[in-house]
Chains A and B, each alone.
Chain A
């Protein structure tokens, strides 16, 4: 097997700035309060008519925010925390993960692309044009983070900005409703008996990743370390996860190997946990396969239970949640729980947020096509 990067320098990639917007509002404080409260943000959809859908709720910001505006605001917040001014931004690669643009779908000439939004954001925030948009569904943003880390470790860049966004729209709600993927009872219940599916949620996030040396040279104290990352495929099905969780487990193992850590070092897992029957069971199997006996003890929650599924942005939104949990030393709640499911035997954070002496947190994501990612963050 090929060697993983980095082979000898764990902790080389650090997070120096974060910005986020969710249905809980703008900023990291609002998101942390929301995920610690365990109170779901799902409300009736009013941004557009959901009359034709069976499920008419989602976690949404009020009004009709514009995606480019929200991503730009999150990037500005991340850059402010990282003290990244115009000169630094002008020589920093920006990677974007975005959901498909409803306006593009209505452009008969196919002259617009999702990348246009990326170009708009990059220009507004002073970054060079983004080389690509990551579109790999629910692992799009986490894949962009892994690529950013690989760019830094391989010496291609000193720092990379990653931004991602999804705002609930009519097309997405209609699609997920048609696929009967949405929870008809209006609650997301990850790993719980009686879970009935996912609910969509607004999510916009941005982070600045840097080499530790580059951050030190600028005199910037990191917010966290991106200790490890891993990705693997299931080679199993068009849309269903491999039931034994072996693909996601390989992604976890890869992340731990890069970080040179043992499963017992992981103090919290922010799970993919969509609230979908077979997906949650496969993820529980993956946790036991990937972490071994440590899976019996590690606290797990899926914060999709409160902020909803942000699709292409979920990997970055949830990475920010993991970093916030590290900073606060408090573990977010796995909301919506009704009772145990024998296929999901995990130490779930139930009821109220849990105090923890936390050094490392693992953020997991899985997507259509059997795509799996694991991001491992540690205290700076």
Chain B
């Protein structure tokens, strides 16, 4: 790295939590200032100014009355660090910034959002997930696993007790769908045939298919706290690794299947795809929790959201997957809770769902940084419900043209 690049990067360094620290420091400073006795300002006798001074004094008193102590600092901090939502956001989603379609789950069911912003309610399904090329959706309704096309027509139905949940379609050929049923992990053919038990002792965490290769390889979390990877066709155990005490929020293989991301509330791990050994680990503090993560389609970058509950603040970072260290860069920060992070199929845009702001933020980092914000997301996916809308979850952004 040249001096010039180094100096430029040093000038860009940002300290964490500056906004919250500033608010606390200002409270202390303002309280101290109130206690102090102040020397009167130097006075000069200018009789011709007195009428103007009197008028100004009235204005000043009025200004104080509508501007409580610290309001300016609070406003400044708010504007700089704490704005709950992006100002000047679009009032409705009129288009997606990148090709592909979104799968969204609300209380009304599963929706498909096209790139022109139009929405179609598939029906009252939950746990909806894309097939690898976005031609079909696997979802759950009642006690059945269902495959349907993007117009909502049901292609096959698989009743199952205990009820199925968290289906995941195998990448590439789409010949397998894995799902959890009670404490078992099961696999069914992409055409709805050949349903069978793959393993018992599975925990309710969405399984993750390894992309690439000719075999159908699946990783899942067990009730006794292990990550297990098996050949889904033969059932052969490929590797098993102990993981953290708490169940992961997400499992995801990198493109090419070199590594497996395991996201827990306080740990993010990258495991070696061949052995399950820990390649990289990131842990967090007591009041901070990881809330969502997803690797980009090319497998190079990992978007990670975390929440500091003490500061009521959330942040999204972009991390390097391939290098030895994480090379973390903050992408966004805001007050309250974020939802999930979702890469566009072409990997150029990141969708961040901001639950407390009722907004979706589309962020592009290259070739030039750009942010597109859309408001009123909850109502858009629950248009006919009376009362406040609930913020929906994004199930996937599919697929690369």
Real binding pair: no
